Structure 1
Amino acid sequence: MDWLQIVVLSLIQGVTEFLPVSSSAHLILVPVFSDWPDQGLAFDVALHVGSLAAVIIYFREELLRMIGSWFKSATGKGTDEDARLAWWVILATIPVGMVGLACKDLIEQYARSPVLLALGLIVFGIVLGVVDWRFRGSRSEYQMNWRDALLIGLSQALALIPGTSRSGITMTMALMLGLNREASARFSFLLSIPVIVLAGGLETLDLVESGIDVNWGDLALGTVLSGVSAFLCIHFFLSFIKRIGMQPFVIYRILLGIALLWLFA
């Protein structure tokens, strides 16, 4: 792969993986403005590894507490707020895992449809904007209950619709349920960990079965760039939304959706 292609794809994946703007919509624009060949499945796996590493490193302290408390809870030694949060992440992951496995072929068929991506960007962007404007929640992620987790998990399954954005739809539902902006984003980021593991695991299985030769240097560079950009994205996004909210991303989604319709419809 060309070094510029590696850099561009890595930065796009790292930044848009966690912003409520749909990474798939951005990746589909790359071949429109370049003559680069398809980056291949191995590089996609590497980018997922980078994003996964970023969110784990960023939330390492919370994750260590959650894992320790979850094991105590699972063995009957009591349940605290960290254990409950871990259980809610597990519960919220189940719907998207079930739907993703059941509809894998259908998703792959329509995931890169420019028109569907555009409509998803616009429709769910408007929904996010209305919810962020109308709902002013004050609860943290530690004040969630199992119903909140289940509803957010069900909404996450909608992210399989092109252009929806996994982070965008989960933040939207969390805001509707009364979580504050930062808590909505933090729970969405925690939810990304099992989702990326599942998606990356399926891609890895496909890669092993294909027997494709890989360029380890390209994969290493893509992993590092994706990870660093994703880490910075998480950090600045959490600081940004406390002061300004989701509206700039809503405007951006609508403009990007219109651009996709203009280019492909």
Structure 2
Amino acid sequence: MDWLIAIVLGVLQGATEFLPISSSAHLRIAGELLPGAEDPGATFTAITQIGTELAVVIFFWRDISRIIAKWFGSLRGTVAKDDPDVKMGWLVIIGTVPIVIAGVLFQDLIRDQLRSLWITATVLIVFGVILGLADMLGKRVKTLETTTYRDGLLIGVAQVLALIPGVSRSGATVTMGRALGYERPAAAKYAFFLAVPAVFGSGFYEAYQAFTEPASIGLGWGPTILATAVAFLVGLAVIRWLMAWISRRSFAPFVIYRIALGAVLLVALSAGWIEAL
């Protein structure tokens, strides 16, 4: 049964990680609804995100490898420090600092209290509304090349909210990007770049913790690795679809979905059909 649950959770992780609807919320809810399952936990979630982030690296490989090469080149003096790719490298580093600090300071909070389904349901609705407003009212004039260090840091601060199941990493960062006036593809692409060091860092740290404390991984290593592989394959397809979607359409369907899911979850909690923790 654990292997089947792992496949389902892997599909969920891959399908929802890049959409602004919160993969951690869907894994948390699925843990309550699937027969024989339970909350997969922060460790399982972080490890499976390695799979989806690997999909990001492969899909944007040309961009990411070029940015890394030029950033190191600027340190050696072989690439101009004002090169756009060098700047993007610094933007990702600066934008990653807030979530690293928050992740270290609030470990216990992330693992326990913030996983309450009452919180998940509430933030699904609240941040769904915020995303809708930002997407509708954003000026849509800034491109990825015009990203400033101030904006990069602000989007990085928004990424910290992704530590709360229900907010969504892409949802929080894209919302901030749209609020600052960036085009949808630009906001999404920077959000993808920004997530790479944060997700890999968190995932490999949690994997190390799981080796030292095997009970923390929940389903066990075999099913977790399977879920990570499934998440990678599904995630790769979803990235391609999402980038095509946002180049022509708004985030409105995701906003509606978030609000509806949050409302259904609140009803289920109020009726006692599922437990918050």
Which 5+ residue runs of structure 1 have no aligned equivalent?
none
Residue correspondences, number: 265
Evaluate the alpha carbon distance shift between residue 43 and residue 134 of structure 1 in structure 2; reply closer, same or farther with a 3 A threshold: closer
1:92 corresponds to: 95
Structure 1 position 86, deviation (Å): 1.1
- Aligned residue for 2:72, secondary structure, equals helix
1:134 aligns with 2:101: no
- The answer to whether the 8 Å contact 1:24/1:112 transfers is no
Listed as ranges, the matches of 1:196-207 within 5 Å are 196-207=199-210
- The answer to whether the 8 Å contact 1:19/1:168 transfers is yes
Distance 2:136 2:143 in 1: 18
Distance 2:111 2:46 in 1: 16
Listed as ranges, the matches of 1:83-162 within 5 Å are 83-162=86-165
- The answer to whether the 8 Å contact 1:43/1:222 transfers is no
TM-score of the two chains, using structure 1 as the length reference: 0.92
Structure 1 position 203, deviation (Å): 0.8
Structure 1 position 246, deviation (Å): 0.6
- The answer to whether the 8 Å contact 1:170/1:184 transfers is yes
Evaluate the alpha carbon distance shift between residue 103 and residue 2 of structure 1 in structure 2; reply closer, same or farther with a 3 A threshold: closer
- The answer to whether the 8 Å contact 1:50/1:224 transfers is yes
Distance 2:162 2:62 in 1: 28
Structure 1 position 219, deviation (Å): 4.2
C-alpha deviations, 1:146-199, integer Å up to 9, x for none? Answer: 111011111111222332111101001111112100111111111111111121
Structure 1 position 28, deviation (Å): 2.0
TM-score of the two chains, using structure 2 as the length reference: 0.89
1:34 aligns with 2:34: yes
Evaluate the alpha carbon distance shift between residue 249 and residue 41 of structure 1 in structure 2; reply closer, same or farther with a 3 A threshold: closer
Decide which moves more: 134-143 or 66-75. Answer: 134-143
Distance 2:224 2:167 in 1: 28
C-alpha deviations, 1:77-131, integer Å up to 9, x for none? Answer: 3121111111101100000110111011111112321110111111111011011
Identity over aligned pairs, percent: 38
Distance 1:219 1:113 in 2: 22
1:245 aligns with 2:250: yes
C-alpha deviations, 1:49-89, integer Å up to 9, x for none? Answer: 21121111011000111001100122333121111111101
Distance 1:24 1:59 in 2: 23
Which 5+ residue runs of structure 2 have no aligned equivalent?
271-277
Evaluate the alpha carbon distance shift between residue 23 and residue 216 of structure 1 in structure 2; reply closer, same or farther with a 3 A threshold: closer
